[in-house]
Chains A and B, each alone.
Chain A
Amino acid sequence: DSGVTQTPKHLITATGQRVTLRCSPRSGDLSVYWYQQSLDQGLQFLIQYYNGEERAKGNILERFSAQQFPDLHSELNLSSLELGDSALYFCASSGGARHTGELFFGEGSRLTVL
């Protein structure tokens, strides 16, 4: 158990809809990262937050947005969903008192867009 919690674990929705994925980082971790894993693209970095502020942005679509709240949990919002958005979305955390570089990943949220 990495200590990172993601909900929901599975989500099935239709094209054009909007979903929100939630992530609770490990206790004490200040950074949250979102990654997308699809069959053809591998693990793609989407966005990073540190203590509530956006710190780095990767290949995140404009239809996607994220935020980190004062209690450090994070949400990834995906809107106007397309078939190609079907993927496994991972949240990871790091940056606790003994930050040593590795990221600790949640079990992922599997999104299926029909």
Chain B
Amino acid sequence: AQKVTQAQTEISVVEKEDVTLDCVYETRDTTYYLFWYKQPPSGELVFLIRRNSFDEQNEISGRYSWNFQKSTSSFNFTITASQVVDSAVYFCALSEERPPGANSKLTFGKGITLSVRP
């Protein structure tokens, strides 16, 4: 069975601080996808990144960066120079690799509530 653990439940930082959100996953599959989603106070779920299990390269997108380490089953998310607009709940998720139409549902972690204070 798949499992995603986000041990941090709430994090509060002051604007311009760097913050890392941790994600640890469990799966028996050798091929899988990892995701991060953001849920701002307005409630919608916004897709941030997808990474497949064969691609361990770290990725940077502006102030966001992701560190995927298969050896520790972790997919951590770092926000550099945080801003108030980064305040949201962040979810890490995992899915098996399946062709379209098959069972490719996402298993989500419990989410981390990030508060960025001015």
Contact with A along B106-118 (1 / 0, CB 8 A): 1111110000000
Residues from chain A with Cβ under 8 Å of B109 in the complex? 42
* Any B CB within 8 A of the CB of A63: no
Assembly CA distance A48 to B103 (angstroms): 8
Q: Indicate with 1 or 0, residue by residue over A58-96, a CB within 8 angstroms of chain B CB atoms.
A: 100000000000000000000000000000101010111
Which residue of the partner chain, among A2, A45, A50, A110, contacts B107 with CB atoms under 8 Å?
Answer: A45
In the bound complex, do residue B45 and residue A45 qualify as a contact, i.e. CB atoms below 8 Å apart? no
Cβ contacts under 8 Å, A43 to chain B: 91, 108, 111
Contacts of A42 in B (CB 8 A): 108-111
Say whether B106 contacts A103, CB under 8 Å.
Answer: yes
Contact B101 A95 (CB under 8 A): yes
A30-B101, A55-B101, A55-B103 known; A107-B44 Cβ under 8 A? yes
CB contacts (< 8 Å) of A2 on chain B: these are 44, 46-47
Chain B interface residue count: which class?
Answer: 20 to 34
Q: Which of A33, A58, A94, A104 contacts B100 (CB 8 A)?
A: A94
A101 B101 Cβ-Cβ under 8 A? no
Across the interface, name the chain A residue whose C-beta is closest to B105: A45
Residue of B nearest to A46 (CB): B105
CA of A102 to CA of B50, assembled, Å: 7
- Determine if B47 and A102 form an interchain contact, defined as CB atoms under 8 angstroms apart: yes
CA distance A90 to B44 in the complex (A): 9
Contacts of A90 in B (CB 8 A): 45
| Closest beta carbon of chain B to A36's beta carbon, Å | 11
| B106–chain A nearest beta-carbon distance, Å | 6
Please provide the chain B residues from 63 to 118 with a CB less than 8 Å away from any CB of chain A in the complex: 91, 95, 97, 100-111
Q: Is B62 an interface residue (CB 8 A)?
A: no
Per-residue A-contact encoding for B23-37, CB less than 8 Å = 1, 0 else: 000000000010101
User: Which residue of the partner chain, among B43, B50, B101, contacts A107 with CB atoms under 8 Å?
Assistant: B43
**What residues of chain B have their CB less than 8 Å away from a CB belonging to chain A?**
33, 35, 37, 42-47, 50, 52, 91, 95, 97, 100-111
List the interface of chain A (C-beta within 8 A of B).
Answer: 2, 30-31, 33, 42-43, 45, 48, 50-51, 55-56, 58, 88, 90, 92, 94-96, 99-108, 110
